[in-house]
Each structure stands twice: as C-alpha cells, then as structure tokens.
A and B are shown apart, each in its own frame.
Chain A
Amino acid sequence: DAGVTQSPTHLIKTRGQHVTLRCSPISGHKSVSWYQQVLGQGPQFIFQYYEKEERGRGNFPDRFSARQFPNYSSELNVNALLLGDSALYLCASSLVAGLGKNIQYFGAGTRLSVL
C-alpha cells in the first residue's frame, strides 16, 4: 500500500512568490495535517483538515492556507514567501475512528528553499 505522498520533493522560490504543496493521504485516511519543520527544530503544526473542513490551525500568519479535496488529498498554499518560510513541510494522515490511538503517518516532505 502506498504511504503518504507529497509533491514536489524539492522547491526553490524567491521572496514574494507563491507556492502550492500537495499531499495524498494513505488510502482510507480522512484526516490530513500539515507541519513545518525548520532545520534543527521539531515539526510545528500548521493545519488539520478532516472531511474537507478545517479542524485546527496553528500559530501561522494568514499567508498560509490549505484545503482538502473530496478524495481527501490536500494542498498547502503559502503567499508572499519570506526567507523564514524555508523549511521542510510535512504532511501527515490519520484514520479518524473516534477516541483511541490514531497514529499520524508522515510523508517524506517537501523541502522549500526561499532565496
């Protein structure tokens, strides 16, 4: 079975540009979360989507937005890129089945470099 897939794997942009990152969850998983991992730090939560609705948002500016599609894939959009947006962007999916352990499975990430 395919795991969480993200595209592209690497991306180079310049300040002020816009970027779209894509994520396909594990088949059957309905929840997708996005994280930003700056070099040397732990991942920071950006968004969670479940059944196409935003269920949680981290402490990120409005330049960051996301959406989830009917097939549960997701896009993360970042506008007006800043140098500080350079990071590894991780997507994670989980099978929502009520209370209990719902492990998040992470994709390989998209490494974004802003010059």
Chain B
Amino acid sequence: ELKVEQNPLFLSMQEGKNYTIYCNYSTTSDRLYWYRQDPGKSLESLFVLLSNGAVKQEGRLMASLDTKARLSTLHITAAVHDLSATYFCAVDGIMNYGGSQGNLIFGKGTKLSVKP
C-alpha cells in the first residue's frame, strides 16, 4: 500500500524563525508535489519536484527531493504570518494514462501556524 507520511502534523512557529517539514513516501515515484490549503479553501500548487536532487524555491519556501531516501523537505525561512496554512505533500499513485498526473496520494498535511 502506498503511504505518504508528513511530520510534524502541527507546527506552531514564531515569526522570523526557520523550520522544516518532512515528507516520507513508500512508492518509487520520482515526482513529488507540494500544495498549500488555506482554511475552507481549495489546494494551491506550490512545487513540482521531478527528479532526484531537485530543489525549488519560491519566496520563503524551499522544497527538495531525495528519491533514494524517499524523502522530501519543505523548508521555511524567516516565517511570516501569511504562511499560516496547511501544507500537503503528494506523490503519484498508479501510473496513469499517458503519464499524466491523475491519481495523487496525499499525506495528512502539516498545519502551520505562525505567530507574531
């Protein structure tokens, strides 16, 4: 059974601090996705990591992928309140038609709260 495990599940940070969210997965997938979800809202794509060693950065967030360790990290630098949200990592499930991404296996999410 494919599993995606995130930790921590809850994270309370102070503004200005750094922290890392971890995502372990059991499949041999070499593609990993990070999404953000605000309360009551839908999922917003943050990063798509397509190969071993991939690193993507956007503002205060940086994601990396180690396919050999089946581990992805989402690093938060100098957190600000606007980053408060739930962050999900996901991997491809079964191989889909044409290699498309159609079946994602999600972790339970990390609820991040950034306090002043």
Q: Is the CB of A48 within 8 A of B96?
A: yes
**Number of residue pairs spanning A and B whose beta carbons lie under 8 angstroms apart:** 81
Tell me what chain A mostly uses at the interface: helix, strand, loop, or mixed: loop
Cα distance A96–B35 when bound, in Å?
20
* A96 partner, pick from B48, B98, B103, beta carbons under 8 A: B98
Q: How far apart are the CA atoms of A108 and B106 in the complex, in Å? A: 17
Contact B104 A104 (CB under 8 A): yes
Indicate if the CB atoms of A45 and B105 lie closer than 8 Å: yes
User: B11-19, B66-74, B77-85, B87-95: which lies at the A interface?
Assistant: B87-95
A: contact size bracket: 20 to 34
Q: Measured between alpha carbons, how far is A103 from B108 in the docked complex, in Å?
A: 20
Known: A42-B88, A43-B106, A55-B96. A94 touches B42 (CB 8 A): no
Contact with B along A73-85 (1 / 0, CB 8 A): 0000000000000
Q: What is the number of residues of chain B that contact chain A, defined by CB distance less than 8 Å?
A: 29
Instruction: Provide the residues of chain A in CB contact with B50, threshold 8 Å.
Output: 100-101
Q: Tell whether, in the assembled complex, residue A33 and residue B43 are in contact, meaning their CB atoms are under 8 Å apart.
A: no
Contact of B107 among A42, A96, A100, A101 (CB under 8 A): A42
CA distance A107 to B45 in the complex (A): 12
Cβ contact within 8 Å between A45 and B93: yes
Instruction: Determine which residue in A96, A97, A98 has the highest number of CB atoms from chain B within 10 A of its CB, and name it.
Output: A96
A56's contact among B31, B43, B88, B94, by CB below 8 Å, is which? B94
Are the C-beta atoms of B109 and A50 separated by less than 8 Å?
A: no
- The 4 A-B pairs of least Cβ separation, nearest first, read A42-B106, A48-B102, A99-B99, A106-B43
